[in-house]
Structure formats: structure tokens, C-alpha cells
């Protein structure tokens, strides 16, 4: 048992000190996975226990001003990340973009670090839902997606900040610009919530995003000579497919499956109202017959 623990400790030390990206090893929260694990544990504890229990007998908080500021900050950061990183996805062979660990590529690693912090900020979406008692929006998909993104991006900054993974930051930042712009508008004026079509297309955009990421991540596995770590592709590809399936299921249940039900319900209500009207209003021929009989 002692030998097993010693072996595990040596492997952990090797992974933390030898395999890591030297550009990012001393950055805050990146040196060890423990702070990120602790952060996610606190997030899950608040989401499933502390938050709901605290709000159980309280009215929803009015945090519109906080939401406006938060969403505006997210739009600015994601827009900057998207604009900054976009040119780098066209450098070299897009089917196999290797990671440059040289000091000259530190700006790319720094942007990956900024992207990591945007994923941490995303966790506040759930916190705001709970404080506003929008518990129906705290779904498994929502919590799983937010949690797993923090974990995966930490790993990316720690070991593989750059290369083929830049594309993920680019397309995801663009989608978040659109998404947080919508959140900003709805926080500023609730009338924008009536724009259901916009919400629907944001989900469609997310599905396109995951499809593009899956293709991009799969490409290095097609080339034997590609120096991008294939193990990264092999780990990320199933995860992207899982997220895609979850979002597709959400899209189907929200925008496709419910639509016929609503149409049927409306038709039934219309038929019911028509029957009531017909029964309440005497038929013209019946009135004539009654009149003739009386005469």
C-alpha cells in the first residue's frame, strides 16, 4: 500500500512539474488542480444545497443592475478574446496546428488564461439563476457544461495552451458574445424576452459550434505525422460529442417536441370555445320554428 501511494505521488509530481507548460506553471490557480477542484466543489455545493436552502423562504432578489454590469463585462472580454485569437487559427496547417512552447508564444498562453477566467465567470450564471429563483433554468446540462468547461480549460492552460485548441477559444468566445449580448438586453429591458426566435437561434449557433469543434479536434488524428498530442484529441472528442447530444436533446425538447403540443392545445381550446358559443347562441332555424309555432 505504501509503495502504491509513493508511486502515485511520484507520478503526480511528475505530471505537475515535468509535463506542464513552463509558460504557465506559476500563474495563479494553474500550478495545482486543487484550487480549481475546490472552486468547483463550492460551486456545486451552492447550486444544490446552500443556494436553494437560502432562497427557500425568500423572495427573488432584484439584481438587474448587477446582471447588466456582469453581462456587459462578459461581452467585452469575450469580444476581445475572439478578435485577438482569430488570426492564429489561420497560421500554418489548420488540420494540424502544433503547440508552440517557446517564450515568444506567451501571449497565446496569456489569452488562454483569460479564457480560463471567463469560464470561472460563467459559473455566476447559475448563482444568479438561484438568487432570482429561476430554478427551472438550473438544469443538468447547464451545471454539467459550466463545470466541465472550467476543468478542461484549466487542463488546457496547464499543459496545452495553444495549437489546435485555439479554435475552441475563438468560436466559443464568438458564441458567448452573442449569448451575453442577449442576456444584457433582456436584463436592460424585459421586453426582449419576447424574442423567442433569438433564443432559439442561439441554441442553434451552439450546436453548430460543437459540430465545428468536433471536426477541428478530430483532424489531427487523421494525420500520422501531426505533432499535436493525439491523446488530447482522443479525450476531447467524446466530450464534445456528449455536449452536442445534450444540447441537441435540449433543443428538441424545447423547440420541436413542445410545438405540436401547443398547437393541439390551442386547437382544442378553439373547438371548446366554439361549442360553448354554439350552445349559448340559439340556432337561427330553431328560432324561426318557435316563432311560427307561436303564430
26 part of the active site: no
CA-based end-to-end distance of the chain: 109
User: Would you tell me the crossing angle of helices 34-45 and 140-159 to the nearest 10 degrees?
Assistant: 170
What is the number of other CB atoms lying within 10 angstroms of the CB of residue 232? 20
**Cell numbers describing residue 237:** 472528442
Separation between Cα atoms, residue 207 and residue 201, nearest integer Å: 10
Contact 30, 24 (CB under 8 A): yes
For residue 204, how many C-alpha atoms fall within 13 Å in the half-sphere facing its CB? 8
Number of neighbours of residue 248 by Cβ within 10 angstroms = 15
Cβ neighbours of residue 229 closer than 8 Å, sequence gap 6 or more:
99, 160
Name the catalytic one among 145, 146, 176, 201.
Answer: 145
**Residue 262 corresponds to which cell in the numbers above?**
401547443
Known catalytic residues are: 145
Amino acid at each position: 500500500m505504501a509503495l502504491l501511494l509513493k508511486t502515485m505521488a511520484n507520478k503526480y509530481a511528475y505530471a505537475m512539474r515535468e509535463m506542464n507548460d513552463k509558460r504557465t506553471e506559476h500563474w495563479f490557480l494553474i500550478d495545482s488542480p486543487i484550487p480549481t477542484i475546490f472552486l468547483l466543489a463550492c460551486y456545486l455545493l451552492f447550486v444544490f444545497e446552500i443556494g436553494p436552502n437560502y432562497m427557500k423562504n425568500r423572495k427573488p432578489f432584484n439584481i438587474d443592475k448587477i446582471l447588466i454590469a456582469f453581462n456587459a463585462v462578459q461581452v467585452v472580454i469575450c469580444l476581445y478574446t475572439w478578435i485577438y485569437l482569430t488570426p492564429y487559427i489561420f497560421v500554418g496547417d489548420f488540420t494540424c496546428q502544433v503547440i508552440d512552447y517557446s517564450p515568444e508564444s506567451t501571449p497565446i498562453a496569456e489569452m488562454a488564461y483569460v479564457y480560463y477566467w471567463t469560464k470561472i465567470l460563467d459559473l455566476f450564471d447559475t448563482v444568479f439563476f438561484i438568487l432570482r429563483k429561476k430554478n427551472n433554468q438550473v438544469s443538468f446540462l447547464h451545471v454539467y457544461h459550466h463545470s466541465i468547461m472550467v476543468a478542461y480549460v484549466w487542463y488546457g492552460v496547464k499543459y496545452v495552451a495553444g495549437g489546435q485548441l485555439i479554435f475552441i477559444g475563438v468560436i466559443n468566445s464568438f458564441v458567448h458574445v452573442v449569448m451575453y449580448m442577449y442576456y444584457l438586453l433582456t436584463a436592460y429591458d424585459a421586453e426582449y424576452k419576447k424574442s423567442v426566435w433569438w433564443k432559439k437561434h442561439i441554441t442553434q449557433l451552439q450546436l453548430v459550434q460543437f459540430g465545428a469543434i468536433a471536426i477541428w479536434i478530430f483532424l489531427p488524428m487523421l494525420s500520422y505525422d501531426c505533432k499535436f498530442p493525439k491523446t488530447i484529441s482522443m479525450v476531447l472528442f467524446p466530450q464534445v460529442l456528449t455536449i452536442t447530444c445534450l444540447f441537441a436533446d435540449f433543443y428538441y425538447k424545447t423547440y420541436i417536441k413542445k410545438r405540436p403540443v401547443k398547437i393541439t392545445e390551442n386547437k382544442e381550446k378553439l373547438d371548446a370555445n366554439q361549442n360553448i358559443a354554439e350552445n349559448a347562441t340559439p340556432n337561427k332555424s330553431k328560432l324561426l320554428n318557435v316563432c311560427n309555432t307561436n303564430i
